[in-house]
């Protein structure tokens, strides 16, 4: 009997410690973890915030690194993207860019995972929205600390001159 109690005590202690650590990490009052649902306690129902407005100004955004999937700068509401239809391709595929004046999907979209060139869009690139996303006017919840490689490399470039 004694052994059982001792054993269960021994296994409970690490759990308690982990619990305390977790509580510390997700933050008591004053911690900076962003709360997606706002300041209300999670036990209270609150009305959903309004949908954010999409940015649809047709201005192509700079990429943060060369192989970043470019952001979508136009409206995509109501565009079919399912087994039978892919509205995106009606402007962005090689055949249709003359009429649409949209940038063509790049050569990587015509390659399989081994780099072989295919005659048409690679199946793994069919669901455009898994990689390309529109932006909204929402304010970021946390500060963005991303630094462009050009800024990182600048001291080195100057040293070489």
C-alpha span between 137 and 54 (Å, rounded): 6
Q: What are the residues whose beta carbons fall under 8 Å from the beta carbon of 129, sequence distance 6 or more? A: 76, 81
Least CB distance from residue 19 to ligand HEC, whole Å?
39
Neighbours of 97 (CB within 10 A): 14
Specify the residue, 54 or 79, whose C-beta has the smaller distance to ligand HEC.
Answer: 79
Specify the residue, 67 or 151, whose C-beta has the smaller distance to ligand HEC.
Answer: 67
Least CB distance from residue 71 to ligand HEC, whole Å?
6
Would you say 121 and 109 are in contact if contact means Cβ atoms under 8 Å apart? yes
Residue identified by tokens 């949209």 is 102
Specify the residue, 23 or 133, whose C-beta has the smaller distance to ligand HEC.
Answer: 133
Residue identified by tokens 């932006």 is 135
Q: What are the residues whose beta carbons fall under 8 Å from the beta carbon of 117, sequence distance 6 or more? A: 107, 110, 111
Least CB distance from residue 80 to ligand HEC, whole Å?
9
Can you give the binding site for ligand HEC, defined by CB under 6 A? 58, 60, 67, 69-70, 72-74, 76, 79, 81, 86-92, 100-103, 105-106, 108-109, 121, 125-132
Specify the residue, 58 or 156, whose C-beta has the smaller distance to ligand HEC.
Answer: 58
Specify the residue, 41 or 66, whose C-beta has the smaller distance to ligand HEC.
Answer: 66
Least CB distance from residue 114 to ligand HEC, whole Å?
15
Structure tokens at 89: 């391709």
Least CB distance from residue 157 to ligand HEC, whole Å?
24
C-alpha span between 15 and 12 (Å, rounded): 5
């Amino acid at each position: 009997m004694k052994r059982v109690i001792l054993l269960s005590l021994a296994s409970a202690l690490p759990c308690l410690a982990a619990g305390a650590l977790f509580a510390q990490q997700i933050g008591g009052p004053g911690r900076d973890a962003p709360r997606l649902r706002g300041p209300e306690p999670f036990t209270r129902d609150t009305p959903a915030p309004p949908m954010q407005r999409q940015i649809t100004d047709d201005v192509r955004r700079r990429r943060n690194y060369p192989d970043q999937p470019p952001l979508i700068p136009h409206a995509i509401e109501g565009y079919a993207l399912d087994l039978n239809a892919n509205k995106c391709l009606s402007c962005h595929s090689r055949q249709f860019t003359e009429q649409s004046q949209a940038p063509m999907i790049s050569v990587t979209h015509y390659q399989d995972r081994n780099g072989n060139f295919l005659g048409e869009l690679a199946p793994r690139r069919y669901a455009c929205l898994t990689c390309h996303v529109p932006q909204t006017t929402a304010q970021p919840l946390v500060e963005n600390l991303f630094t462009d490689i050009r800024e990182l490399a600048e001291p080195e470039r100057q040293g070489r001159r």
